Chains A and B, each alone.
Chain A
Amino acid sequence: MKKIEAIIQPHKAEQVKEALKNIGVDGLTISEVRGHGRQKGHKEVYRGMEYEVDLLPKIKIETVVPDSRLQEVQQAIATAARTGKIGDGKIFIYDVLDAIRIRNDDTGEMAL
């Protein structure tokens, strides 16, 4: 099992969700996060006071998939989230030791 963690532009969240639904990924977790990579922040001015905003709003999508589906899911996310501009985000992939369904103690890929 692999965990896919994608940090993407907020305005791409709907498209990524749709893409995952289309290939049959049922479970995912989405959170609003802030951060930056190589992308620079921007400047805001309030009554002449300047603020450098370097932590930008992003969306983090997490989902765990069987090894066999990894390639397909990761490509679906990348394609849907891509604008080709700096700041599009990153995808990280982790090994997952186990998964347990709380309702009935299913484990492993059964629990996904």
Chain B
Amino acid sequence: MTKASRTLFGPLFWTFALCGSAALAQTPASTDARLSALEAATKSAQSAGDNAWMLTSAALVLMMTGPGLALFYGGLVRAKNVLSTMMHSFALMGVVTVLWAIYGYSFSFGEGNSFIGGLQYLFLNGVGSAPNADYAATIPHETYMIYQLMFAIITPALISGAFAERMKFSAMLLFTCLWSTIVYFPMAHMVWGKGGLLNAFLGGKVPTFDFAGGTVVHITSGVSALVCALYLGKRVGFPKEPMKPHNLTLSVIGACLLWVGWFGFNAGSAVSASALATSAFVATHFGAAAAALGWMFAEWVKHGKPSMLGGISGCVAGLVAITPASGFVKPFPALLIGLLAGIVCFWMVSTVKGKFGYDDTLDAFGVHGAGGTLGALLTGVFATNAINDALKDSAGKALPLGWVDGNPGQVLNQLIAVVISWVLAIVGTWIILKIVDAVVGVRATQEQEVTGLDVSLHGEEGYTLEA
């Protein structure tokens, strides 16, 4: 403060201070009333802070689907399918929102049994400005609902990477409605819903740590993607015809938007603007950075050149793997998880996929299935109560979380959760594909596929250079 401003504000300050104490002296309000007013003010200040971060996070997570994933996937397909691929992501921003409002939120977060939520939030009944203490005590229940919706949107959008360039649009819509209902809502309930089988914090029988959706989002979508790829079969001409990504610059923009949006995904999963959110933010960033390098260097060694596509694929793989761990691990384990994810996922898409010969168009399984599984298991190893002390014993002491805390059994719990999500994803997706195939048929005709889905299914082209 400058000397001039001190001379100006000094007298002002004393004037206000004296007025204030005079006012207090005139109305001797009881200490209780003043305390409760102070409590209310503190609560409202905390709510304002938390709510601001959670609304920002919700917007960031939506940005991951559109434009993030739409650009990432759109750039990786051939030019004739760019719009149909982007539409998979974009259409889900509409479809899943409607399902969520009608019954999705209730099936996921209503109080039901161990496997699926109840009906009390049907049509968002009772989801208003009053907080739900079980899920997020400091923000409006409605904020929590809209935040969780963004996860429900991106998860089926991730699967679209496996069936891009050959699935019918009508089949995609029907598939997604059924998949959300049969696979996603139950899985979200089991891991995050009150009373869910795997919920470590709200009375689950198999306590699992999944901070932001390693099982719920990435294993379910990645494994379902593999089932879709196997069920639909290869694209016409695969793997003989060249099917190079048509515009990697779009994919780079998309991947970087995913990286940024992921801060909302993971740090937002603290459901407060707290130190835990910071910790998850740091872990997320560290995981992504190490994985980008891991993939890039693995590729450099194996193929002789580091590539941009390798770098962005690596960062997404790292973000996937750090997702379940983000609110439980310290920064250096986060680097390690990321590095491993980059190398393992590179090996999955460059070696394993080729050996088995399935056509997972954009490697949704190799990145999300493999990265999600790796991350879920490593969470059991590296989770520590030094970062997350939400689980306490009766004396109020923080319970050990993962192997590093001396609780190796947690790795087994994580494995059970992984198996449950794999089984649910495989069985659920297979049944759904059978139903969709019987009702509308899953695959575009060969002629439509060769022409390109943009023109044949949507009547438009992504690039009209003569116009």
| B239:A47 contact, CB within 8 angstroms | no
Contact of B354 among A44, A46, A48, A51 (CB under 8 A): A48
Interchain CB contact (< 8 A) of A48 among B242, B244, B245, B353: B353
Q: Which of B169-177, B303-311, B386-394 contacts A (4 or more CB under 8 A)?
A: B303-311
Q: How far is the CA of A47 from the CA of B313 in the complex (A)?
A: 8
Q: Which of A44, A45, A48, A49 has the most CB of B within 10 A?
A: A48
A51 and B350 in contact, given A45-B303, A46-B309 (Cβ under 8 angstroms): no
Contact for B242 among A45, A47, A51, CB less than 8 A: A51
A46 to B239 CA separation, bound complex (whole angstroms): 13
Q: Does the CB pair A45–B307 fall under 8 Å?
A: yes
CB distance from A90 to the nearest CB of B (A): 26
Point out the residue from B244, B299, B310, B346 that lies within 8 Å of A51, measured CB to CB: B244
Please name all residues of chain A whose beta carbon is closer than 8 Å to the beta carbon of B346 when the two chains form the complex. Answer: 48
Closest to B309 in A: A46
Question: In which size bucket is the chain B interface?
Answer: 20 to 34
Question: Does residue B351 face the partner (Cβ distance < 8 Å to A)?
Answer: yes
Task: For the complex, give the distance between the alpha carbons of A49 and B357 in Å.
Answer: 12
From B242, B243, B354, residue with most partner A Cβ within 10 Å: B242
| Closest chain B residue to A48, Cβ basis | B350
Q: Are B239 and A49 in contact (CB under 8 A)?
A: yes
B371 to chain A, nearest CB (A): 14
Is residue B349 within 8 Å, beta carbon to beta carbon, of the partner chain? yes
Residue numbers in B under 8 Å from A46 (CB-CB): 244-245, 307, 309
B contact residues around A45 at 8 Å (CB): 299, 303, 305, 307
* Interchain CB contact (< 8 A) of A44 among B244, B302, B310: B244
- Measured CB to CB, the residues of B under 8 A from A are 239, 242-245, 299, 302-303, 305, 307, 309-310, 313, 346, 349-351, 353-354, 363
Name the 10 nearest CB pairs between A and B, nearest first.
A48-B350, A45-B303, A47-B349, A51-B242, A46-B309, A51-B244, A46-B244, A48-B349, A46-B245, A47-B350
- 14 A-B pairs within 8 Å (CB atoms) are namely A45-B305, A46-B307, A47-B309, A47-B310, A47-B313, A47-B349, A48-B302, A48-B346, A48-B350, A48-B351, A48-B353, A49-B354, A51-B242, A51-B244
